[in-house]
Amino acid sequence: MIINHPLLGPRDAAEFVHLGDASLIDRPNWQAEDAAAQFLDYAYMRDNPAGELRELWYHEQGDRSWLVVTRNTLTHEISSVELARDVALARGRDR
Amino acid sequence: MSQSNRIDGGLIDRSQTLSFTFNGKAMQGHPGDTLASALLANGQRLVGRSFKYHRPRGIFTAGSEEPNALVQLRKGAHQEPNTRATTVELFRGLEATSQNHRGSLNFDIMAANDLLAPWLSAGFYYKTFMWPKAFWEKVYEPFIRASAGLGALSKVEDPDTYDKGFLHCDLLVIGAGPAGLSAALAAGRSGARVILADEDFTPGGRLNAETLEVDGMAGSGWAAEAITELASMDNVRIMPRATVYGAYDHGIYGALERMTDHLANADGKPRQVLWRIYSKRALLTAGATERPIAFPMNDRPGVMLAGAVRAYANRFGVAPGKRVAVFTNNDDGWRTATDLAAKGVEITAVIDTRETDAQASIPRASIVMGGRVVDTAGRKGLTSITLANGQTIPTDCLAVSGGWSPNVHLTCHQRGRPGWREDIAAFVPSGDLPPGMSVAGAANGTLTLSAALNEGRAQANEAVKDLGFAASRKAPPKAEDEARETSAFWHVAEGKRRAWLDLQNDVTVKDVKQSHAEGFRSVEHLKRYTTLGMATDQGKTANIPALAIMAEQTGKTIPETGTTIFRPPYTPVPIGALAGRSRGKDFRPYRLTPSHKWAEENGATFVETGNWLRAQWFARPGEQGWRDSVDREVEMTRASVGICDVTTLGKIDIQGRDAAEFLNKIYANGFAKLPVGKVRYGLMLREDGICYDDGTTARLAENHFVMTTTTANAVLVFRRMEFARQCLWPNLDVHMISVTDGWAQYAVAGPNSRKLLAKIVDDFDISNDVFPFMGCAELTVCGGTPARLFRISFSGELAYEIAVPARYGRCDDPGADAGGRGIRRDPLWHRSAWRDADRKGPRGG
């Protein structure tokens, strides 16, 4: 596969490490009242869709960017690649 | 034996003679021959034994689809089993042997299986090797293992080297037949970067095997001229002997190039190269594969595909038989009769299953329209055939044509399914192609020459225009379209004897019928129950006729029955090529610490930790085992001082205004208030609360920390920290880099450690008052070498860790360099002190 890195252009998937569902960005607030339940979901529960999936890839043999890659799990078509930091900021993650 | 079957013509160089041996017998051929054509030229019809019944078998095809003629090449460590004689390029001194027989090729004792054939049909294994259970391991498994496999491995290490390579292009053209050459010319002229790959050693595809003309010259001559023109273009790379074996995601193709297989001696060059080709567009022009007709006793040496017989005559100057008969269901088969007759080979009969007019008149040949071959004779080579009308025709070579199947394989590697075309009775690529791929020529069902040339050019022009190049206006090559009418005739129903479909795995028409009768009706079940198409040839010639017979049984159409899934590789890829250089110690290279050489010279025993080799203990003369060495090292450390290379621990440099806050978040214990000049032990947890990693982190300055991690987890911890920095707390001002390799670090432990270090530090007070427990500092040692000193202990003793830039850490004797003469010192066995440390202090990793 080829991942079109937003900063570096097309790179072979072999340069990356795959982590999985990009929902890992949405780490729960540990001070929330139902933090235990939220962390159970966060740590263990994943969707496994046949189709489009937003997932995290780490450019370990490159610039060490974490990316959010939207990939169709049936065709491997990649429809978008974003810097995970931008996604995290857009989702309201702060410090 | 002289080359008794050699005839005039062909693309071989008769000015040179190449000697080779088959089963020890000396034979001769010429440059341009394959092993198969040379064997046929020497009159060798029997070349192997079938897998299950050990039936005598001969050469069946002239290409990579060969199911029968599998031979073993070379000797000793270079021995290579299961090569297809039809693709092996002849070289001087080639040693080939037949395989899969006990006793000689002529007298194989395993041929007794053939007599047991009535009991060895489909599902035999599943039904037989069931009871009693006690037999599974002791009787059945040894028996099955002894019968399994074809050729034999050398059982010594492969002495050849294999490489991997990466190529990029605008257009990858797969196959250098008429469509491929026409396409490569068009794309090359447009200026696009083109790769033209072909599995053969002489590009041209069927043009080399036929007598068809292009641009008023022999097709093979036109192909050679096209290659000359392509070779003159800087933007075109021609890759003969390169099989594109798989279509992968995003325009990436796998190719195996055979670099030195055709040479007697590789001379140190890599034997094969596994290419990963990145293409913007790909054009599949892989041609078509002829398929047989199943009829009783159709497996004898001398029964061959009609197109192959023609290829041997036209390209290699070999007549596969003295008296050749043709059995066909289509027009194309007739050209074998006319081509060979024109070369003076006797054609005894042409049998066409169709009730139409004869396509040609062949002198002295019986023409039988609406004919069927219902039996054959000749134990180790065909001697005669018997027709449904009772006529027996003496013949030593029967050329069979059941029509041509486009090589759709690569179009299906991403789950595409081929569609059925009734007019050519074949599966063709459907619209569901891998992105970026198009198909032209026979691979697309465009079986006639002129149409294939035009389609190749048109598809290439479309691809390059798509990429922004101006298509060449040069006219397409001129040729005619030959007659290619065909009929859907798959097997001869008359006759009681076995009719083979899959020659390599010995699957017969009866097996397919039995599979249906026993309920295995899906093609995928049929395949697995009968082993149809599961041999090394993957059923390239066998699958379609078998599907047709399954369709007849179920009352469905062939497209309703469907094909099994095509998967890479198109032809076998050696494990050696997949491994490339990553074998032996290069499979997982070691990382060595700066003191490695010194440790080696001083009797260290090493242990693998992650990729690192770490000194475990240092044996001294007279010590009776590891325990003696370890005890001495522990005692030495407890009594005086020990030194241990701890470079392998992960080191991460962390800087930024929010570095302290960041560490506070990723460690389970607090770091925000760690004073400058202090070290703290830190513990990391997984999100589910289970311990993940630990180490120490030193605060060198307000916004500058150095973290250590465990050796094996260093990469993972760094990855996780980057995740935390970028994805969880993206607004923290913090940056980090791995400096594991940047610093050589030694632990110095024991009551004399301070005394030892005092001798190397430059103007730095390391007294307990100024530099207390858990202190850290940047300083210089040995007259100006930058260093970092940490007062941390994992042994319970007074201890330090000292780090210097890695290039200063490489020393013959760390103790001597440290100026420690006069103080008793000894390398500290990494674990031994800690084993002993429970009573004194904390443990760590």
List the domains of chain A with CATH numbers: 2-28+35-90 (3.30.2270.10)
How many residues appear in chain A?
95
B399 contact partners, CB below 8 Å, separation of at least 6 = B304, B305, B306, B308, B309, B310, B324, B325, B326, B327, B328, B333, B336, B337
Section B405-427 average pLDDT = 95
Chain B interface test: which of A3, A12, A26, A66 (most B C-beta within 10 Å): A66
Tens of pLDDT along chain A (95 residues) come to 999 999 999 999 999 999 999 999 999 999 999 999 999 999 999 999 999 999 999 999 999 999 999 999 999 999 999 999 999 999 999 87
Do residues B4 and B12 make contact, with C-beta atoms less than 8 angstroms apart?
no
Give the closest residue to B303 by CA, choosing from B389, B375, B359. Answer: B375
Greater confidence, B147 or B453? B453
- Same domain as B413, residue B275: yes
Tokens of B356: 């139409």
Dihedral pair phi/psi, residue B29, rounded to 5°: -150, -165
pLDDT digits (tens, 9 = 90+) for B164-207: 999 999 999 999 999 999 999 999 999 999 999 999 999 999 99
Q: Do β-strands B288-290 and B303-305 pair in parallel, antiparallel, or remain unpaired?
A: unpaired
Residue B658 pairs in a beta bridge with none
Q: For position B810, what pLDDT does the model report?
A: 64
A36 lies within 8 A of chain B by CB: no
Q: What total of structural domains would you count in chain B?
A: 4
Q: Do A85 and B727 touch (CB under 8 A)?
A: yes
Q: Do B252 and A44 touch (CB under 8 A)?
A: no
Chain B, nearest residue to A88 by Cα: B727
Classify residue B575: in a domain, yes or no. Answer: no
Q: For position B808, what pLDDT does the model report?
A: 86
Residues of chain A found within 8 Å of residue B658, distances taken between Cβ atoms: 95
Classify residue B730: in a domain, yes or no. Answer: yes
Classify residue B433: in a domain, yes or no. Answer: yes
Q: For position B148, what pLDDT does the model report?
A: 66
Domain boundary at B433, B466, B499, which? B466
pLDDT digits (tens, 9 = 90+) for B98-136: 988 877 888 877 777 787 777 777 777 777 777 777 877
How many residues appear in chain B?
845
- Same domain as B410, residue B455: yes
Section B693-722 average pLDDT = 96
- Same domain as B114, residue B49: yes
Interface of B with A in 728-787 (CB under 8 A): 728-732
In SS3 terms, B7-70 reads as CCCCCCCCCCCEEEEECCEEEEECCCCEHHHHHHHCCCCCCEECCCCCCEECCCCCCCCCCCCE
pLDDT digits (tens, 9 = 90+) for B364-403: 999 999 999 999 999 899 999 999 999 999 999 999 999 9
Greater confidence, B102 or B1? B102
Position B438 pLDDT exceeds 50:
yes
Domain boundary at B466, B482, B516, which? B466
Q: For position B141, what pLDDT does the model report?
A: 76
Classify residue B431: in a domain, yes or no. Answer: yes
Per-residue pLDDT band for B842 (boundaries 50, 70, 90) equals: very low
pLDDT digits (tens, 9 = 90+) for B264-293: 998 889 999 999 999 999 999 999 999 999
Position B419 pLDDT exceeds 90:
yes
- Same domain as B712, residue B826: no
Q: How many CB pairs under 8 A join A and B?
A: 69
Q: For position B113, what pLDDT does the model report?
A: 79
- Same domain as B283, residue B186: yes
User: Residue B211: which CATH number?
Assistant: 3.50.50.60
Greater confidence, B804 or B836? B804
Q: For residues B662 and B652, what is the distance between their CA atoms, to the nearest angstrom? A: 13
pLDDT digits (tens, 9 = 90+) for B528-584: 999 999 999 999 999 999 999 999 999 999 999 999 999 999 999 999 999 999 998
Q: For position B140, what pLDDT does the model report?
A: 75
User: A2 to chain B, minimum CA–CA distance in Å?
Assistant: 6
A43 lies within 8 A of chain B by CB: yes
Do residues B101 and B72 make contact, with C-beta atoms less than 8 angstroms apart?
no
pLDDT digits (tens, 9 = 90+) for B328-359: 999 999 999 999 999 999 999 999 999 999 99
pLDDT digits (tens, 9 = 90+) for B43-63: 999 999 988 888 999 999 999
Classify residue B38: in a domain, yes or no. Answer: yes
Q: For position B117, what pLDDT does the model report?
A: 76
User: By percentage, how much of chain B surpasses pLDDT 70?
Assistant: 95
Q: For residues B105 and B92, what is the distance between their CA atoms, to the nearest angstrom? A: 23
Q: For position B270, what pLDDT does the model report?
A: 96
Q: For residues B782 and B287, what is the distance between their CA atoms, to the nearest angstrom? A: 73
User: By percentage, how much of chain B surpasses pLDDT 90?
Assistant: 82
Do residues B515 and B127 make contact, with C-beta atoms less than 8 angstroms apart?
no
- Same domain as B678, residue B824: no
Q: For position B449, what pLDDT does the model report?
A: 97
Per-residue CA distances from B405 to B199, B283, B445 (Å)? 18, 18, 8
Q: For residues B360 and B367, what is the distance between their CA atoms, to the nearest angstrom? A: 9
Classify residue B721: in a domain, yes or no. Answer: yes
A89 lies within 8 A of chain B by CB: yes
ipTM (interface pTM) = 0.98
Domain ranges, residue B798 = 595-611+625-648+742-839
- Same domain as B642, residue B655: no
Torsion of CA B758, B761, B763, B769, to 10 degrees: -50
B111 contact partners, CB below 8 Å, separation of at least 6 = B49, B53, B54, B55, B56, B101
- Same domain as B59, residue B131: yes
Dihedral pair phi/psi, residue B584, rounded to 5°: 60, -135
User: Residue B603: which CATH number?
Assistant: 3.30.1360.120
Classify residue B747: in a domain, yes or no. Answer: yes
Tell me the average pLDDT of chain B. Answer: 92
Q: Do B722 and A64 touch (CB under 8 A)?
A: yes
Domain boundary at B92, B117, B147, which? B147
User: Residue B109: which CATH number?
Assistant: 3.10.20.440
Q: For position B585, what pLDDT does the model report?
A: 87
Chain A, nearest residue to B659 by Cα: A95
Q: For position B829, what pLDDT does the model report?
A: 39
Q: Do A1 and B729 touch (CB under 8 A)?
A: no
Residues of chain A found within 8 Å of residue B687, distances taken between Cβ atoms: 27, 39, 42-43
- Same domain as B125, residue B25: yes
Position B137 pLDDT exceeds 90:
no
- Same domain as B247, residue B140: no
- Same domain as B730, residue B827: no
Helix axes B178-190, B449-466, angle to 10 degrees: 30
Do residues B770 and B806 make contact, with C-beta atoms less than 8 angstroms apart?
no
Position B691 pLDDT exceeds 80:
yes
- Same domain as B167, residue B106: no
Classify residue B327: in a domain, yes or no. Answer: no
Greater confidence, B100 or B835? B100
A39 lies within 8 A of chain B by CB: yes
Q: For position B150, what pLDDT does the model report?
A: 79
